[in-house]
Amino acid sequence: MPARTDNVRDPELVAALLMMRRGQAYWARKLNELHDDEFDGPSRVPGWTRRQLIAHVGFHARALARLVEWARTGVERRMYDSPEQRAEEIDFGATLPTEALRNLCAHAAVHLNVEWRDLPEASWRSEVRTAGGRLVPATETVWMRTREVWIHAVDLDNGGRVTDFPPELVDALLEDLVRVWRWKIRVGDRDVILEPVDRAQRHRVQIEGDRGDPLIVRGTAADLVTWGTGRGDKNVSTPEGDRPPPAPGWP
Ligand code: ZN
């Protein structure tokens, strides 16, 4: 019989699952607060209406559930067949009646949670492939969902703010930004240093062969996450007091 609770004892993974579930609850709350007639409005993701964003968050849960299923069965599954298929799916989902769209999102999240719950402890180390092509342990799917639900709750643009996030999540997002930029920024590009004014530690991307004039951006940790994830540059500045250029892409 499948377990009714997670098969995990690793305290780090237990904490990660908790943070993901808090994020799922935060996303669901912001979505519940949204009236049906507000679905057609723009989201904070450039080019996407709220409908497209909501469809994306639902289909993202389905895509991750396929990866967790792969970890459980050993039979390879993909997150998405192609970028085109992913985009078509989102556009289709956006045409659904609001109630159906709400249900799609809620059911997909429940299904993903069941996949995680039933994953045997040993299978959490099995490798799966992200949409970007990287092989990662199945444990990574928890973080992939965590950052998605929290940040996209802000993208619904009905009151969600990074300043609402738990401090340990803000710290994890700062580390994720630097981690992602390390893959994305090319050798010789300008280095980036994040200097949170409310934290002891600063975060440096450390580009190999950088030009020697790193872009230093200061602000609270939450405001740096907002800038770094491309969600606005309020309250962040360079040491000279200038507005920083747009952050490198994330995720
Ligand atoms: Zn997303």
Q: What is the pLDDT of residues 52-106, one digit of tens each?
A: 999 999 999 999 999 999 999 999 999 999 999 999 999 999 999 999 999 999 9
CA of residue 86 to ligand 1 center, whole Å:
11
How many whole angstroms from 79 Cα to the centroid of ligand 1? 13
Alpha carbon distance 241, 249 (integer Å): 23
For residue range 183-198, list pLDDT tens digits in order: 887 766 788 999 999 9
Helices 83-94 & 50-73 angle (0-180, nearest 10): 130
Residues 124 and 192 in one domain: no
Query: Does 111 share its domain with 197?
Result: no
Token digits for 249?
Answer: 């892409």
The CA 187 to ligand 1 mean position distance, Å, reads 27
**What's the CA gap between 250 and 231, in Å, rounded?**
10
Calculate how far, in angstroms, residue 200's C-alpha sits from the geometric centre of ligand 1. 30
Q: What is 199-240 written as a DSSP string?
A: SS--EE---TT--S--EEEEE-HHHHHHHHTTS--TT-B-TT
β-sheet bridge partners, residue 194: 203, 217
- CA–centroid distance, 10 to ligand 1, in Å, is 27
232 vs 42: CA distance, rounded Å: 16
Its domain, for residue 219, covers: 168-228
CA of 186 to the centre of ligand 1 (A): 23
CA of 147 to the centre of ligand 1 (A): 9
Ligand 1 center–CA 42 separation, angstroms: 15
Q: Give residue-wise pLDDT tens across range 19-45.
A: 999 999 999 999 999 999 999 999 999
Q: Ligand 1 centre from 56 Cα, in Å?
A: 7
Cis ω before 251 (30° cut-off from 0):
yes
Pairwise CA distance, residues 45 & 53, whole Å: 8
Same domain, 151 and 178: no
Report CA(149)–ligand 1 centroid distance (Å): 8
Tell me the C-alpha distance between 176 and 216, whole Å. Answer: 17
Cα of first residue to Cα of last residue in the chain, in angstroms, is 37
Which positions ≥6 away from 151 have C-beta within 8 Å? 173, 229, 231
Find the 225 Cα to ligand 1 centroid distance in Å. Answer: 16
- Residues 84 and 152 reside in one and the same domain: yes
| Contact between 20 and 142 (Cβ < 8 Å) | yes
CA–CA distances in Å: residue 1 to residues 4, 5, 72, 118: 9, 12, 15, 10
112 & 215 share domain = no
Residue 124 domain flag: yes
> What's the CA-to-centroid distance between 248 and ligand 1, angstroms?
16
For residues 151 and 218, state if they share a domain. no
- Centre of ligand 1 from the C-alpha of residue 240, in Å: 33
Q: Are residues 60 and 147 in the same domain?
A: yes
Inter-residue contact 170 to 219 (CB < 8 Å): no
- What is the 157 CA–ligand 1 centroid distance (Å)? 14
Tell me: the pLDDT tens digits for 196-239? 999 999 999 987 776 778 999 999 999 999 999 999 999 999 99
